[in-house]
Amino acid sequence: MKKIILTGGGTAGHVYPALALISDLEKDHEIHYFGSNGMEKEILKQYSSITYHEIPVVKFERKMTLRNLMLPFKLISSIRQTKKEIKKVKPNIVFAKGGFVSVPVAISAHKLKVPVISHESDLSLGLANKVILKYCDCMCTTFPETAKREKCIYTGQPIRKKIINGKKLAIKSDLPFLLVLGGSSGARFLNNLVYNNLDDLTKHFFVLHIYGKNGKEVKHENYYGVPYTEHIEDFYATADVVLSRAGSGVTNELKVLNLPMLLVPLSKQISRGDQIENAKYFEKNGYAKCIEEEDADYLNIKENLLNLLKNYKKTVKNLKKIEKIDANEAILELIKKYEL
């Protein structure tokens, strides 16, 4: 049986796309996951068939800080230790999903002449994948425009199979269901918008709210909130419209499910602007509506959500026309092509 190392972390968006390949990979691969002592370690606990390897990682801080001066030395140390761990596993291939966790794994595997396939979820390459591009054999991309770079191949975004098999939550309401989510950590802006306007919002919608670690428990009529769920597919199955950040993982899941979405991307003040690029691309191609955070207020948000609801049938019909690429199959074919 061949062996594969999966790696990626920092956010759930760097983990779940890799895990989308698990059910197919485990048929003929021994699966190992290289990650940090962070979110990915918690997520991987539910996968008993995967051997988890905790490695030292180096995170570059975008703001100017003295800690970044130590980064080259820490990275060298991380690569040295990661190489030892890879030698123990003796993998046939590495699949790197991005995030700072992936960098020492991709570099180490390359030095050991182990093939590396990476994947970029966003329209533009993240910092980690800019480094990894030099060391990988090929980089899969979610967006066709991103594949114009050397080594890059357009495959689309891998989607967990369970996403399309959700069951509606046991909640009865005559109101349409609005799902609000902000990524694995939650979104303070969206959370506060919901909390501060809940009385009015629940006149128009039954609100399903996945508020993350940055939110709080609230009791209210026509409202159901949870900090996190392992069954996001059931929330998707229940929702009529979605208010969300614009992480590529979630937006591509919503697109596959033909769910009308209003995207409020993470502000460029606290990000590299990748979510803004993703959201504008989705809006330009008719997949979603987009409001940048600086332009978003409750009345604007509500108006756009009600318009999505008003044009629900038309929106869903347009979403169904979009060509749906089987990214899982495309990536699995590349793994077969490159593995030793």
Judged by DSSP in three states, 258 sits in: coil
Beta strands in 233-275 (DSSP E): 241-244, 261-263
Question: How far apart (Å, rounded) are the C-alpha atoms in residues 322 and 105?
Answer: 36
> What is the arithmetic mean of pLDDT over 19-23?
95
Find out whether 34 and 9 touch, Cβ atoms under 8 Å: no
Return the minimum-mean-pLDDT range out of 186-190, 225-229, 237-241, 299-303.
Answer: 186-190
* 161-176 exposure pattern, b = at least 16 Cβ within 10 A, e = fewer: eebeebeebeeeeeeb
pTM of full prediction above 0.85 = yes
Query: Residue 184 pLDDT > 70, yes or no?
Result: no
> Model confidence over 60-70: pLDDT tens digits?
655 656 566 66
Mean pLDDT of the chain: 93
pLDDT at 148: 96
Query: Residue 280 pLDDT > 90, yes or no?
Result: yes
> Model confidence over 108-131: pLDDT tens digits?
999 999 999 999 999 999 989 999
More confident residue, 67 or 210: 210
> Model confidence over 128-149: pLDDT tens digits?
999 999 999 999 999 999 999 9
pLDDT at 63: 60
